[in-house]
Structure 1
C-alpha cells in the first residue's frame, strides 16, 4: 500500500493502518468488537437502531470509550459495510466460462443483501476503497479478464452485474421484510399484491397491465429479475461476437452490386428469407403456447378448492 497519502480515518481502520488509541480500556475494547456489535444490532433491529450510544450499551461501555477507537459514525457505517460484505468465495474460479463465473459472484452478492438488508439503506457516496470491497472488484475483473475488452469496458461489465445484484437484493429484501412484518409467506404476499391489482386495474384504461394480471405473472414462480440479468449478459456476449465476427454478421449492402443473376447469391437470399419465416413462425407458436399456459393456469386456480 502507498504510504505517501494520508488516508481518511475510516478507510485507514479498514486497512488496519490507523493508529491505535493510547488510552482507554485496551484489552476489553477493539475496533473489531465495536463493528461486530454494530452489525449484530443492525441485523436484529435495522440500521436505524445503530448509534454510538446503542453500540456502547450493547458492549457495556460508555459512548466516549467508543470514540477513542471509532471517531465518527460515518466511519462506523463504513466498517459495518466492510464487515457484512466480507469477501467472495473462490467458487467462481471453478465455474466454466465468464458468464458462469459472473453468475456465481452475482448470487453471492444478492445473498449478502438478504442477510444484511440494512446495507441497502447506506448512502452511496462513491466506491468504498476498503479491502473487502476491493476483493469483490478484483474477483469480478478476474472473471472477465480473458474477454476481448479494454480495461474500462471490463469495469463496466462488473459494475453492470454489481448494480443488478443490488437491485435484485433490494427487491427481494423488501419482500422478505413485508413477509416478516405481516407474518405471511412470500407466496401470500405476492397473492395479496395480485389481488390488489386485480381490484383496481381496469382493462379499458390499462389494457396491457390487465393482460399481465390475467396471465398470473404476479404470482408466477418465474424470476423476472433473472431474465433481465441474462439478457444483459446476452448483450455483452453479442457485443463480443460482433467484435470478433463470430456470429450474426450484418447483411452485406448489395445495392450497388450487379449480383441479381448470381445463382449462389440468390440461393443465399432464399435461405435467409426461409430462416426468417421459420423464426416468425416459432415466435408465433411461442406466443400461442404462453397464452394457453396462462389460460390453463387460470382454470387450474378456479378448480382449486378454497
Structure 2
C-alpha cells in the first residue's frame, strides 16, 4: 500500500524531491516522453526500466530515482499518454453530442496508442488525466435529471464502448499486418472461412448473418450503431415522466 501511495504522489506531483544523490538531469515528463516513444514504436512489453534509461543515456539503477518500479512507470505512462480531455467534451454541446465527442476522443487515444489496451483495468483509475476525462464525461450529463449513480454508469458504459471498439479495430489491424492483407480483405477471408465451418442447422442465425454479408459490410458502421443505440436508451430514459420514490 505504501508503494501505491508513492505512485499516486508521483502522478499528482506531490512526491518530495530526493534529498540525497546527484541532481536529476531530467524532469519526470521527459522520462515519460522517452517511455512513450518506446511504447508507440514497439509496444508495452518494450517499455522496461533498462530500455527507458538507455533512451535517456542513464543507467537502469539511476532511473529508479525518477520512478521506483516498472509498475509505477506503466501507471504514469498510461496517464501521460491519455493526456487531458479535449475541450470539445464540454457541457455546452448538450449531453448527447458531448458523450459522442467523449467516445470519439477516447477511441482516438487508443488508436494513437494501441498498447494502452494491454494494460488491464484494475479498479477505478486515480491518476490526474484519467480522472479529468471521467469528470468531463460526467459534466456532459450535469444538467440532466439523473442520479449520481446513473451519470456514473452512463459515462463508464460509454468509456467501455470506446475501449472495446478500439480493441476490435486493433485486432483487425494486427491481423492485417500479420497476413499482409488490408483489413477489408482480412475480414472477407474470415467470413469465407466461417461460411465453410458454420452449419446452418446448428447455427442458423450466424449462418444467416454470414450469408447476408454482415461481417464484411463496408457501409455499416457497427461501432457507431451500437453507440447510437446506447445513447437512444439514455434519451428514452430522460424523456420518461418524473419517477416517484416507489418507482426508483
Same fold (TM over 0.5): yes
* 1:131 aligned residue (111, 128, 146): 128
- Structure 2 unaligned spans of 5+: 244-248
Residues in 2 aligned to 1:93 and 1:124: alpha-carbon distance in whole angstroms? 26
Report the TM-score, using the length of structure 1 for normalisation.
0.74
Cα pair 1:56 1:62 within 8 Å, conserved: yes
Cα pair 2:173 2:183 within 8 Å, conserved: yes
State the partner residue of 2:40. 43
Cα pair 1:47 1:121 within 8 Å, conserved: yes
Q: Spell out the pairing of 1:265-284 with structure 2 (5 A cutoff).
A: none
State the partner residue of 1:281. none
Cα pair 1:179 1:186 within 8 Å, conserved: yes
Q: Spell out the pairing of 1:1-306 with structure 2 (5 A cutoff).
A: 8-24=5-21, 26-93=23-90, 96-221=93-218, 222-244=220-242
Higher relative contact order (CA 8 A, sep 6+): 2
Structure ID, larger Rg: 1
CA distances 1:24-81 after superposition (whole Å, capped 9, x unpaired):
5535333212211111111111111111111112222111100011001111111000
Instruction: Tell me the secondary structure at the aligned position of residue 110 of structure 2.
Output: helix
Displacement of 1:199 after TM fit?
1.7
- Structure 1 unaligned spans of 5+: 1-5, 246-306
Displacement of 1:92 after TM fit?
2.7
After superposition, the Cα gap between the structure-2 partners of 1:37 and 1:156, relative to the gap in structure 1 and judged at 3 Å, is same
Q: Say how many residue pairs are matched.
A: 241
Residues in 1 aligned to 2:233 and 2:91: alpha-carbon distance in whole angstroms? 24
Report the TM-score, using the length of structure 2 for normalisation.
0.90
